[in-house]
Structure 1
């Protein structure tokens, strides 16, 4: 311990920042005189009340006292994990402390398994957090405010299972975050938001997810205007819609997992993508969704005419070119995933890496009809192929054979059989694939 105590303060504070909670940090004051006041300058404080055996009153008093005694002029991270009923008064005091210490990162997590409802956050959060750069909220309720919401320094915002006053509040919140670069929204079933509008010119990374518990709602959707976006992550199984008002020419990474009747409007706006992960609905589901959306949009006048017209178009943009795409993952859980795969391959001349796998537990049947022409990327650029959850069915073997026969630049093919397959079945798969003819003499097949 004496040797550690001889380290400079900067290094000791970094070590203290790695301790699990602020209580562990404060407990180090008993080690020696050298450590008695050191905890008061640690740049990261984490208060954890998520354990069921902690007395909340005692926890609240500990938080209050430690924040009063804190001496550093600035605090990098203030993190709360709250598992029991937390009064709005406590949160108001602690959020005021965040402003007092010019906190850069504020994290408030409410353990949803230990309380009947989310925590209600005070209005002071919007008015006394001017220095925040990062704000992360989990399982909370935001209240409406009469004045406009403003986070002038905020660059990262993460909203998970948050309930809002309504559509307009969320629109106002996001539109007043003029420096925002990274946004994550995980919607819960009863968040009071039907159409989420994201109109932020500074945004570079956007992730929008809907809860698996959210019921199908074809009036639910997203309106996006983020022309400088570089990373786009969208997962929505409600059968709703996503309208992108402007092209996003800077997109590098995109993950699209939707059951929309119109995914083509998304794909046509991200043609500059370099890494693409796709899971789209089958043709049969698409046809049914078209009929349901047409009927429902007649009843919802708040959805623009342009949206109603777009739903009548094809699911995949015709003759769309992905000139920068080098890595592609196609989900195999839908019935006609091969049709989608071949269309994307045809439009992606520079593709080098292909991965096949499932986003969901279900597995789609493979209907294979070998195309009359070989996509340029398959014969001239494709270097790696990885197939997850390979089942060894005849159609799958034909697809694997196709890539081996025409992939003249293939260097490595990795096959990962489905985890439920028996060892004997796996051996049969390995034997069958090992003896398939290969166009590239350098191609190696590995089995995991």
Structure 2
């Protein structure tokens, strides 16, 4: 049987021929051999730092805490873990995480990961938990996944002043930024998933930011003005409305990648004189009655892909068309002699430059 750790659990192996000891089993110490056959507990005799390194590799605070039943020596060791991961197969409840964090004794964490399932809890209660984490535990790396719903006020995102890496994912949960003038002073890498807050308000709070990664963007504009940013990745969420504003000003930016969905009248401003690696993929979001927004009648620019790597530039335009019917505003295409709906656009061709 395969265990979660990857080891296999099965019947015991047969004894070695001649009564010889098989390799892999530690020898019994002389004192134990003459005193009732009790073997030495070598694991518990290890230093705390080494045991903590073992517990960290369990990948979950809950499993690390369960090791307290192994021996008195292990009791409470999990509260000194340098890395705390509150993630199971499903998100954990707020009360469980609050109870566990209250027992943590380590003054500063290397890493903290929380996946929180919210079921109508007060937003202020979640805000208090996050604020306590930032002030009391001073984590260097923070990953927070929030899903569900809260009652009352939005969840306030605190300034994690000692955090260099921050990963935020909000699934149906609204976050409020810290007050104007607040700073994420040490933050160098920021990862945002399903983000719904204006970048124009967030980025100025990160004076040392070098890497910004945005996935499943759910906001209509991207405004990034940063004097420290060196790498930028932005991906729009599938099924969401297209972007209408794209404004980038980053004098130190060296690498940028964009995979976005945009409205036909997208406004773009891109100022990055130091960029060396660039990729742009844009799919335009058209209404059925907006056939002439980009391109000729019955023809439109569906997507634009541009890339630059090692001085080589490549541009690809994807054109689609519809054949108009006898009624204005009703466009159809022929397929096998039968008319189909206007949503069945056909690819006219691709042009590479």
- Please indicate the TM-score interval, normalised by the length of the shorter structure: 0.5 to 0.7
CA deviation after TM superposition for structure 1 residue 119, in Å: 11
Instruction: Give 1:74's aligned residue.
Output: 108
Q: Does 1:135 align with 2:160?
A: no
Instruction: Give 2:262's aligned residue.
Output: 238
The correspondence of residues 264-279 of structure 1 with structure 2, limited to 5 A, is 273-274=309-310
Q: Does 1:196 align with 2:235?
A: no
CA deviation after TM superposition for structure 1 residue 26, in Å: 1.2
Q: Does 1:126 align with 2:158?
A: yes
The correspondence of residues 356-371 of structure 1 with structure 2, limited to 5 A, is none
Q: 1:230 to 1:17 in 2, by over 3 A?
A: farther
CA deviation after TM superposition for structure 1 residue 6, in Å: 3.7
Higher helix share: 1
Q: 1:244 to 1:38 in 2, by over 3 A?
A: same
Whole-Å Cα distance in 2 between the matches of residues 279 and 16 of structure 1? 51
Output the TM-score relative to the length of structure 2. 0.65
Indicate conservation of the 8 Å contact 2:144/2:167, yes or no: yes
Instruction: Give 2:343's aligned residue.
Output: none
Local SS of the residue matching 1:180: coil
Whole-Å Cα distance in 2 between the matches of residues 188 and 118 of structure 1? 24
CA deviation map 1:243-289 (0-9, x unaligned): 3442343423x3322136799x995xx75x3398978442457xxxx
CA deviation map 1:105-162 (0-9, x unaligned): 2221124xxx368997633x334x2112122111241225553332111111112112
Whole-Å Cα distance in 1 between the matches of residues 138 and 114 of structure 2? 16
Indicate conservation of the 8 Å contact 1:22/1:46, yes or no: yes
CA deviation after TM superposition for structure 1 residue 210, in Å: 1.0
Q: 1:12 to 1:79 in 2, by over 3 A?
A: same
Instruction: Give 1:38's aligned residue.
Output: 77
Indicate conservation of the 8 Å contact 2:123/2:150, yes or no: no
Q: 1:33 to 1:248 in 2, by over 3 A?
A: farther
CA deviation after TM superposition for structure 1 residue 177, in Å: 0.6
**Rg (Cα) greater in structure:** 2
| Match of residue 181, structure 1, among 193, 205, 210 | 210
Indicate conservation of the 8 Å contact 1:257/1:279, yes or no: no
Whole-Å Cα distance in 2 between the matches of residues 109 and 119 of structure 1? 20
CA deviation after TM superposition for structure 1 residue 179, in Å: 0.4
How many residues of Structure 1 are paired with residues of Structure 2 in the alignment?
270
Q: Does 1:28 align with 2:52?
A: no
Output the TM-score relative to the length of structure 1. 0.52
Q: Does 1:212 align with 2:243?
A: no
CA deviation map 1:332-352 (0-9, x unaligned): x97644x41xx3xxxxxxxxx
| Match of residue 139, structure 2, among 70, 93, 103 | 103
Whole-Å Cα distance in 2 between the matches of residues 64 and 50 of structure 1? 19
Whole-Å Cα distance in 1 between the matches of residues 305 and 152 of structure 2? 35
Indicate conservation of the 8 Å contact 1:77/1:105, yes or no: yes
Indicate conservation of the 8 Å contact 1:231/1:251, yes or no: yes
Local SS of the residue matching 1:79: strand
CA deviation map 1:207-266 (0-9, x unaligned): 11111111346xx131111222232120112245463442343423x3322136799x99
Q: Does 1:251 align with 2:287?
A: no
Instruction: Give 1:90's aligned residue.
Output: 125
The correspondence of residues 340-359 of structure 1 with structure 2, limited to 5 A, is 340=352, 343=353
Gaps of 5+ in 2: 1-39, 285-293, 295-300, 322-345
The correspondence of residues 272-311 of structure 1 with structure 2, limited to 5 A, is 273-274=309-310, 280-284=316-320
CA deviation map 1:13-39 (0-9, x unaligned): 222112232111111122112211321
CA deviation map 1:389-418 (0-9, x unaligned): xxxxxxxxxxxxxxxxxxxxxxxxxxxxxx
Local SS of the residue matching 2:271: coil
Local SS of the residue matching 1:138: strand
Instruction: Give 2:182's aligned residue.
Output: 149
Alignment RMSD, CA only? 3.6
Q: 1:116 to 1:87 in 2, by over 3 A?
A: closer
Q: Which of 5-14 and 150-159 deviates more?
A: 5-14
Indicate conservation of the 8 Å contact 1:171/1:197, yes or no: yes
